[in-house]
């Protein structure tokens, strides 16, 4: 049986300071994206629902219901590039001129599958390690809505 899995190699991630006019493929596709360079790990995207439990003392039966939904934490690791337009946009989104702006994020897999989502940038930290290492960066993007999934053409 053939497998449809793909590697992460070739995945492109881009950001835009703002929201689309419509929360669908058409709205996101017309934005002016800033590609984020030197990403080595993107993070997680997708729904996680928090279980909420209740145990009535009368019968001692645990009842579980769905609580809040988190759509991931894109905790990215990067090679630091101070002139990369995407990394500059992340920095502005954390504590700069765009810190209170909802941002859009685009992830395009090598297969052509695309994921769009809105949220905010919460961190951009430089990593200065040992002598034989590349200066890196950590960045964190927290989605605030369900991702829009676009199938490959």
Cα distance between residue 133 and residue 112, in whole Å: 33
pLDDT at 4: 85
* 127 lies in some domain: yes
Helix, strand, or coil here: 88? helix
Q: Which residues contact 50 (CB under 8 A, 6 or more apart)?
A: 66, 67, 68, 69, 70
What is the total count of domains within the chain? Answer: 1
CATH number of the structural domain spanning residue 121? 4.10.410
* 5 lies in some domain: no
- Weakly modelled stretches of the chain, pLDDT under 50: none
Structural contact between residues 14 and 37, judged by C-beta atoms closer than 8 angstroms? no
* 34 lies in some domain: yes
pLDDT at 11: 96
pLDDT at 1: 79
């Amino acid at each position: 049986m053939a497998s449809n899995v793909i590697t992460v190699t070739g995945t492109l991630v881009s950001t835009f300071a703002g929201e689309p006019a419509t929360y669908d493929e058409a709205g996101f596709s017309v934005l002016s994206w800033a590609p984020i360079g030197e990403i080595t790990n993107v993070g997680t995207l997708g729904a996680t629902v928090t279980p909420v439990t209740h145990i009535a003392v009368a019968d001692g039966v645990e009842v579980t219901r769905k609580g809040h939904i988190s759509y991931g934490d894109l905790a990215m690791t990067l090679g630091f590039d101070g002139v990369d337009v995407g990394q500059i946009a992340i920095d502005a989104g954390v504590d700069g001129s765009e810190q209170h702006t909802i941002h859009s994020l685009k992830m395009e897999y090598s297969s052509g599958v695309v994921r769009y989502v809105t949220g905010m940038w919460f961190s951009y930290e430089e990593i200065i390690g040992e002598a034989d290492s590349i200066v890196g960066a950590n960045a964190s993007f927290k989605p605030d809505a369900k991702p829009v999934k676009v199938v490959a053409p």
